Amino acid sequence: MLDTTYNVETPEGIDLRAQAAGPVPRILAFAVDVFYRSLVLTGLGIALAFADRAGMGIWLVCSFLLEWFYPVYFEVMRGGQTPGKKAFGLMVVNDNLTPISWGASLLRNLLRFADFLPFAYAAGVISMTLNRNFQRLGDMAAGTLVVYREAEHRQTSLPDVAPLAPPRGLQLQDQLAVISLTERHGELSDARQRELADLLQPVTGKSDRAALNYLRAVGNWLLGGK
């Protein structure tokens, strides 16, 4: 089964997983960051234009700092998210899924130089595309990873059915599927939902509308309805 999931097993035997983020959202996030940076630099340039050559010097220092330490600051101090990454729900983590540290962040950002070669981040894009976990060269050197920050589970309205205890022998995956069917009652077409419920006729002993209502009731029960 092909997927983009990144798995880590802790010494305690707990599986941590995250969704590695690929080149397209990362390129777009980078573009957003470049946009913000150039906005700041333009504003600064206009403000410092009055200071003549000294202003020019200050502007150059600022652009240097912004180019190299803007990502480091945001990655370490703002939970692994530069403004661009935040816009796309991405975050940088160490490859054991712990929050990124100063050393790793500095390394991965200084090595943007390697990813830039030969021009316009070509090495970075190619490396990101070919790597299993979408890591660019700097990521591989620093042992970091860009993953999706899990979105908060939005509250969905549940169907108005009195909860019922589930039948015996439902495994975790089955329960999740029933819950998913209950939560998506507004998004899936009615016919499709009845078709899905019919699939379980040998288990539930009901069919069509009754089967769907029963599964919704079970879903409500599994979600803690009383």
Instruction: Looking at residues 53 to 92 of the shown chain, list those that interact with other proteins (rule: CB under 8 A).
Output: 88-89
| Contact predicate 18/87, CB 8 Å | no
Residues 6+ apart with CB under 8 A from 41: 59, 62, 63, 66
Whether 93 contacts 147, CB under 8 Å: yes
Which of 10, 38, 42, 180 is in the footprint of other proteins by CB under 8 A?
180
Using CB under 8 A, count the residues that bind other proteins: 46
Q: Which of 18, 25, 84, 95 forms a contact with other proteins (CB under 8 A)?
A: 25
Kindly tell me which residue out of 4, 63, 94, 213 binds other proteins, with binding defined by CB under 8 A.
Answer: 4
State the alpha helices, DSSP H only, in 23-51: 23-48
Q: Determine, following the binding rule CB under 8 A, whether residue 118 of this chain makes contact with other proteins.
A: yes
Name the strand (E) or helix (H) holding 177. Answer: helix 172-183
Q: Which of 123, 114, 119, 116 is nearest to 141 (CA)?
A: 114
Say if CB 166 and CB 178 are below 8 A apart. yes
Q: Which one of 36-44, 63-71, 103-111, 113-121 is the stretch in contact with other proteins (CB under 8 A)? A: 113-121
CB of 96 to other proteins, least distance (A): 21
Residue among 17, 78, 184, 209 that touches other proteins (CB under 8 A): 184
Looking at the DSSP bridge assignments, the partners of residue 9 are 15
Query: Contact positions toward other proteins, by CB under 8 A?
Result: 1-5, 19-25, 27-28, 88-89, 118-122, 125, 129-130, 134, 148, 151, 169-171, 173-174, 176-177, 180-181, 184, 187-188, 192-193, 196, 199-200, 202-203
